[in-house]
Structure formats: structure tokens, C-alpha cells
Chains A and B, each alone.
Chain A
């Protein structure tokens, strides 16, 4: 079983829609969970991180971790065309290493 699994998409939505991006992970010991955003032909950039369970909000973005089901979610409210990118979830597996999901490509059309 992979340590992190993510639906590759693509996910296509109209501008203004609420977007839900999801990942599952395998090890209940993982504590730090991250979402990176990657624009086309660019390197990934950290969008948000959460520690343990719960929600974290930053503007239109909310990151959620459900440790009971080993589920990570990123919600985008009022999605904009500028949100079109690939979103990668990542977990810190310990020893300062990150394991990334395969990424979900999001397309927001005007």
C-alpha cells in the first residue's frame, strides 16, 4: 500500500464553485500534513499545513485532517481561474522526509 494516495483528476469546475481535493494515507502515526500547489512548469509551493487532526483555514482555503479515517482534504471556496493548478498532498513520515501524493490537476473555468 502506498503511504499517500491521491486521485489524479483532472477536476474541472466553473468559477465560484466549491472544490474538494482529497488524499488518504496509510500510517496512523503521521502527524504533519501539507498541501502544495504547483502551477504548470513551476516547482511546488507550500499552500497550507496542519498538525494532527482538525481544520485550518486561510482565506478561501481550508485544510482538514480526519485521523480516524486517515483522510486529508483541501477545500477551496469561491474558486477562481487563478486556482487552476496541480495540488499535491504530502505527509511528513518522520526523519524529516516528505511523501507526496501524485497530485490532482484542477481546472477552474471562467
Chain B
């Protein structure tokens, strides 16, 4: 693989169910991010990780959790999905040690519908 992969591509989920969105990068980037993209609201940061073993909250963290057990993987978990979490989710990564402006590389996205 090259770049960032996300799985699943799309998912329809019943409200109240638990769901984990997967993200893997092979660029050895230190930082990873999860965004949600909604019409009229743009990309909003959910959680981020500056290095393996650390995570931080973004603009809209409620209802989501993340973990960063290693450099390559950054899963996003919805513990109990609600319809307002219907969105397109993008994972991104960057090498903040090399890029002063923090160029972020994005995955193809996961389209999630919560009914």
C-alpha cells in the first residue's frame, strides 16, 4: 500500500451500535488526524495524535475516541452511534518534523450513515 488507507469505504449503522473506522498509513509520519466533513461546515478536527502513544482532542471530540498504539494505525471509535454522526470521515497524516507548514495527506474517506 502507498499513502493512507481507510476502511470501510462506506457503512450504514443503526443508532446505538459501536463502530470502529480504521486508518493505516505507510509513510512513517509521526502525526495523524481524524476529521469529519459536513456540508456547509467543512472539515472539522475530531482527534489527533502527534506521536505513537499520545492523542489529543480536536474541535468536535464528543462521542468519539481514538488510540495510537503504533506509528501506522489510528482507529476512530464511535462507542454508541447517533444520527448526528452521519458524515464523511477523513483520516490524515503528516510529518511535522519535516514540514513547517504541516502538509497533511488525506485518505479516501469513509461515508458513514447512522439511522
A110-B41 Cα distance, complex, nearest whole Å: 30
Residues in B with CB closer than 8 Å to A102 are 40-42
- Whether, in the assembled complex, A74 has its beta carbon less than 8 Å from a beta carbon of chain B, the answer is no
A38-B31 Cα distance, complex, nearest whole Å: 21
**Within A78-110, which residues are at the interface with B (CB < 8 Å)?**
88, 92, 96-103
Q: Is the CB of A92 within 8 A of B43?
A: no
Residues in A with CB closer than 8 Å to B90 are 43-44
- Whether, in the assembled complex, A71 has its beta carbon less than 8 Å from a beta carbon of chain B, the answer is no
Q: How many residues of B contact A (CB 8 A)?
A: 25
**Within B1-53, which residues are at the interface with A (CB < 8 Å)?**
4, 31, 40-45, 48, 50
Q: Is the CB of A96 within 8 A of B108?
A: no
Write the chain B residue with the least CB distance to A42.
Answer: B108
- Whether, in the assembled complex, B80 has its beta carbon less than 8 Å from a beta carbon of chain A, the answer is no
A101-B42 Cα distance, complex, nearest whole Å: 6
- Give the contacting residue for A92; candidates B4, B44, B102; CB below 8 A: B102
Q: How far is the CB of B72 from chain A (nearest CB, A)?
A: 17
**Within B94-115, which residues are at the interface with A (CB < 8 Å)?**
94, 96, 100-109
Q: Is the CB of A97 within 8 A of B48?
A: yes
Q: Is the CB of B94 within 8 A of A43?
A: no
Residue from A6, A43, A92, A102 having most chain B Cβ neighbours under 10 A: A43
A43-B44 Cα distance, complex, nearest whole Å: 14
Q: Is the CB of A96 within 8 A of B96?
A: yes
Q: How far is the CB of A39 from chain B (nearest CB, A)?
A: 11
Residues in B with CB closer than 8 Å to A8 are 40
Give me the interface of A with B, judged by CB distance under 8 Å.
6, 8, 32, 34, 41-46, 49, 51, 88, 92, 96-103
Given contacts A51-B101, A96-B102, A98-B45, 8 further A-B contacts (CB under 8 A): A41-B109, A43-B4, A45-B106, A46-B105, A49-B103, A88-B42, A96-B50, A100-B44
Interchain residue pairs with CB less than 8 A apart (20): A8-B40, A32-B102, A42-B108, A43-B90, A43-B106, A44-B43, A44-B106, A46-B103, A46-B104, A49-B101, A51-B101, A88-B42, A96-B31, A96-B94, A96-B102, A98-B102, A100-B44, A101-B42, A102-B42, A103-B42
